[in-house]
Amino acid sequence: MTQARTALITGAGSGIGRALALEAVRRGYAPILVGRTEASLRETRALFPGTSATIVTADVTTAEGRRAIAEAAGARLDVLINNAGTLSVGHLRDMDDAALERMAATNLVAPMALTRDLLPALKAGQGRVANIGSVFGDIAYPFFAAYSATKFGLRGFSDALRRELSGSGVGVTYIAPRATRTAAEAEFAALVEPLAMTLDSAERVAAEAWTAIEAGRRESFPRGKERFFVKVQRLFPALVDKSVGAQARDARTLKALEPVSKA
């Protein structure tokens, strides 16, 4: 009997993670749903009744949580999607240590540590690591400074890991969605208009992510202006400094930040 392909998805209880799980099932994978809240994971699980799925209630930022995840993955894993993330927005001067540490731990350290722990299973399955980054991992946005830094780090980790694992049979895909309509949108909703953000649905992000994963691509960016600006950023960063800096100084942007500012 052929063993079902498995896909382990962190942050699977809501938003992009939930959409990634649904898309995984649609494509024939048995999902391993990881998150901190069992009730949310069960809500995700209920969306595909009759499908083999595993729920793992665990915190990816802790060694204990990662051990539980590795035990659930078993000896063989086809796809690991590091999706769990957190976001705090505002002036850097207003960010306390807890917010900075939370973003670094969840968005960067946890994916590195979990990938390390699951490498034996991924090698056994000749699988693929997919890291969910952000367009802000290329285009560093004001008032998203710490978040951008973690996503820059995740992109760097993805490139380095891909090269380190070359020849091992394990691939690495970095996925960089733009702003997405999820519960996290509430954190930056006031900035959508002044910063001219385009928002995608979680379903669209998940479909594009899985297309990139199954095609074995090294990276995936959204269609539209953001893809163009990523290329400009990499070649002519001073041009982006000028454009985005003007947005940061705009009175509408600064006014939108007032509710989240401590100043």
Residue 193: what pLDDT? 72
How do residues 111-165 score in pLDDT, each as one tens digit? 999 999 999 999 999 999 999 999 999 988 888 999 999 999 999 999 999 999 9
DSSP string, the chain: -PPPPEEEEETTTSHHHHHHHHHHHHTT-EEEEEES-HHHHHHHHTTSTTS--EEEE--TTSHHHHHHHHHHHTT--SEEEE-------S-GGG--HHHHHHHHIIIIIHHHHHHHHHHHHHHHTT-EEEEE--GGGTSPPTT-HHHHHHHHHHHHHHHHHHHHTTTTT-EEEEE----EESTTHHHHGGGTTTTT---EEHHHHHHHHHHHHHHT-SEE--SSHHHHHHHHHHH-HHHHHHHHHHHHH-HHHHHHHGGG---
Superfamily of structural domain 6-260 = NAD(P)-binding Rossmann-like Domain (3.40.50.720)
CB proximity list for 65: less than 8 A, separation 6 or greater: 58, 59
Residue 227: what pLDDT? 75
174 classed as catalytic: no
- Asked if residue 2 has pLDDT above 60, the reply is no
Q: Give the pair of three-digit tokens for residue 196.
A: 């001219």
Q: Give the pair of three-digit tokens for residue 235.
A: 């070649």
Question: Which of the following is catalytic: 29, 141, 147, 174?
Answer: 147
Residue 185: what pLDDT? 59
pLDDT confidence band for 223 (50 / 70 / 90): confident
Residue 192: what pLDDT? 67
19: left (phi over 0), alpha (psi -120 to 50) or beta: alpha
How do residues 230-255 score in pLDDT, each as one tens digit? 877 788 778 877 877 777 787 887 78
Residue 206: what pLDDT? 96
Report d(CA 63, CA 161) in Å as an integer. Answer: 21
Residue 263: what pLDDT? 41
Q: Which of 4-8, 59-63, 126-130, 239-243 has the lowest mean pLDDT?
A: 239-243
Residue 100: what pLDDT? 97
How do residues 157-176 score in pLDDT, each as one tens digit? 999 999 999 999 999 999 99
Which carries the bigger pLDDT value, residue 194 or residue 39? 39
Q: What is the mean pLDDT of residues 76-82?
A: 98
What rounded mean pLDDT belongs to the chain?
90
Domain boundaries of the chain, sorted by first residue = 6-260
Q: Specify the pTM.
A: 0.90
Residue 186: what pLDDT? 65
